[in-house]
Amino acid sequence: SLNRPLKIGITCYPSLGGSGVVATELGKLLAEKGHEIHFITHSMPFRLGKFHRNIYYHEVEVSDYYVFRYPPYDLSLASKMNQVARLQKLDLLHVHYAVPHAICAILAKQMAGDDLKVVTTLHGTDITVLAQDETLKDIIRLGIRQSDAVTAVSRDLIRETRELLDIHEEQIDLTYNFVDKRIYYPRECTDLRNDYAEPHEKILMHISNFRPVKRTQDVVDVFAKVNAQMPTKLVLVGEGPDLPKIQTKIQAMGLSHRVHFLGKQDDVAQVISIADLLLLPSEKESFGLVALEAMACGVPTIGSMAGGIPELVQHGQSGFLSPIGNTDDMAANAIRLLSDEKLYADFREACLHRARHDFCNEAITAQYEDIYYRVLGMP
């Protein structure tokens, strides 16, 4: 673009799964392109890492005066956004999640003045979970209506947002998630693989925050069914509320010796490269960033047809999708793919090609830039 570089404030949940990753990676890519990025969050975004040129971090501190029964994080965030916007002369705030971040940004805009623009990205949980709550619907709708632009990470999320909130006039831009292809590619991993499986064994992997929507019990069921037909190992990555239940289930099924728990891992590209298949049988998934991370490392997904997953994983080309909860079908698909070398090689190629071409960081960063310039009236 011929336009001048921008000063952009970014707010996300700094340690929350896909949305935190996408917000942080987008900030890094924009900074590389010469924009000035100001993260405004309650703690350091977990993928930010080392020092980066053009990136600044402003920490939101919550005041805990004794008159507050509930320390008001949202007001502290809005005040901080306003303060940073004025001091650093920000052009816009790009917030991830309508509630509370869009609402905070709108308050900041009321303080800082109309020149400060607000771009809101919907990631799913704010709509698919929070918008089910009647008491929150109006405030989510306000966040969307008062934003200068709204983006969503899949067509399915746009559809669901319109349906649940009865929003039909407002434009919602589709901006898919992306991975940085300099980081996500099939890594050399023979040594690491040998730590977890024998050469003749296949590795199934699941990576998530083990929330109930991930249906991790289905992960174990699919694994058990596949393992009954061919020697397999299951590698579980991440932590969350359902993990203890899963551990008990694995023990009860006598499968402990075939399962590895890796806990939280930062270098997902390295870990995922040892897998033969990724399992993603979610109940809800507006995009499924981990399936894209796997795809970019050449690993096909066996998953459910929930939400935006079918927009990412093409059934029969880069993975296989089944109705939610149909673990028989998922296991049959996994066995089919793992026992046909030619088919597997084709899927792997399709994954690599699709991740690089259709969800490439350059194209999607440029889409966000176009949206920024549009709201700023800079053609």
Contact set with ligand GMT (CB under 6 A)? 16-19, 22, 123-125, 128, 153, 177, 209, 211, 213, 284-289, 307
Of the two residues 18 and 100, which places its CB atom closer to ligand GMT in the complex?
18
Least separation in angstroms between CB 238 and ligand GMT: 10
Of the two residues 30 and 85, which places its CB atom closer to ligand GMT in the complex?
30
Of the two residues 36 and 242, which places its CB atom closer to ligand GMT in the complex?
242
Please give the structure tokens belonging to residue 35: 């924009």
Of the two residues 136 and 255, which places its CB atom closer to ligand GMT in the complex?
136
Closest-CB residue for ligand GMT? 124
Question: Integer distance in angstroms from the first to the last C-alpha of the chain?
Answer: 9
Least separation in angstroms between CB 190 and ligand GMT: 30
Least separation in angstroms between CB 32 and ligand GMT: 21
Least separation in angstroms between CB 120 and ligand GMT: 13
Least separation in angstroms between CB 78 and ligand GMT: 20
Of the two residues 118 and 306, which places its CB atom closer to ligand GMT in the complex?
306
Of the two residues 17 and 300, which places its CB atom closer to ligand GMT in the complex?
17
Least separation in angstroms between CB 13 and ligand GMT: 6
Of the two residues 88 and 367, which places its CB atom closer to ligand GMT in the complex?
367
Least separation in angstroms between CB 202 and ligand GMT: 25
Of the two residues 14 and 331, which places its CB atom closer to ligand GMT in the complex?
14
Look at the alpha carbons of 135, 136, 142, 144 in this order and tell me if their dihedral is positive or negative.
Answer: negative
Contacts of 6 (CB under 8 A, 6+ apart): 35, 36, 91, 92, 372, 373, 376
Answer yes or no: are the C-beta atoms of 174 and 152 closer than 8 Å.
Answer: yes
- Determine phi and psi for 91, rounding to 5 degrees: -85, -35
Least separation in angstroms between CB 68 and ligand GMT: 27
Please state, in angstroms and rounded to a whole number, the distance separating the CA atoms of residues 130 and 73. 18
Contacts of 151 (CB under 8 A, 6+ apart): 119, 120, 121, 122, 172, 173, 174, 175, 368, 371
Least separation in angstroms between CB 239 and ligand GMT: 12
Of the two residues 12 and 332, which places its CB atom closer to ligand GMT in the complex?
12
